[in-house]
Amino acid sequence: MEQKILDQTTMIQYLLGLLSEDDSSRLEESFFKDDEYFEELVALEDDLIDDYVNDRLPDSFRIAFEEKLKSDAGWKQRVVVAGALSRRAVKLQPRSPESVSSPSFWELVAAAFRSRQPAYRLALLAGAAAVLVVFGVSAWQVIEQRRDLETFQAERRNSDTTIRNIQTELAQLQARGEDLNRQLEAERLGRQELEKAPAKNVAPAGLIASFVLRAGSVRGSDESMRLIIPKSVQSVRLQLDLATVGDYRSYQAALRTAAGAVVWAADMVRTTATASGKTVVIDLPPQFLAPGNYELGLLGLVDRGRFEEVAYYNFTVQEK
* Pairing status of strand 271-274 against strand 277-284: antiparallel
Query: What is the DSSP code (8-state) at residue 286?
Result: G
How does DSSP assign 214-263, residue by residue?
---SSTT-S--EEEE--TT-SEEEEEEE-TTS---S-EEEEEEETT--EE
Tell me what the mean pLDDT of segment 242-263 comes to: 88
Q: Are residues 141 and 270 in the same domain?
A: no
Q: Are residues 161 and 246 in the same domain?
A: no
Q: Are residues 238 and 126 in the same domain?
A: no
* Pairing status of strand 262-269 against strand 292-303: unpaired
Q: Is the pLDDT of residue 204 over 50?
A: no
Q: Which domain holds residue 280?
A: 208-318
Instruction: Identify the residue with better confidence: 35 or 2.
Output: 35
Banded model confidence at residue 200, pLDDT cuts 50, 70, 90: very low
Indicate the number of domains in the chain: 2
Q: Are residues 128 and 266 in the same domain?
A: no
- What pLDDT was estimated at residue 3? 46
SS3 319: coil
Q: Are residues 72 and 22 in the same domain?
A: yes
Lowest mean pLDDT across 9-23, 130-144, 179-193, 302-316? 130-144
Q: Are residues 152 and 245 in the same domain?
A: no
Lowest mean pLDDT across 37-41, 130-134, 271-275, 287-291? 130-134
Global pTM value = 0.36
Q: Is the pLDDT of residue 1 over 60?
A: no
Q: Are residues 299 and 153 in the same domain?
A: no
Point out the domain boundary residue: 114, 144, 167. Answer: 167
Give the domain CATH number at 246: 2.60.40.2550
Instruction: Identify the residue with better confidence: 116 or 309.
Output: 309
Q: Is the pLDDT of residue 203 over 60?
A: no
Residue 293 lies in a domain: yes
Q: Are residues 136 and 252 in the same domain?
A: no
Banded model confidence at residue 277, pLDDT cuts 50, 70, 90: confident
- What pLDDT was estimated at residue 98? 47
Percent of the chain surpassing pLDDT 70: 77
Burial of residue 11 (CB within 10 Å: 0-12, 13-18, 19+) is buried
Interatomic CA distance for residues 71 and 184, integer angstroms: 65
Q: Are residues 218 and 296 in the same domain?
A: yes
What is the chain's mean pLDDT, rounded?
78
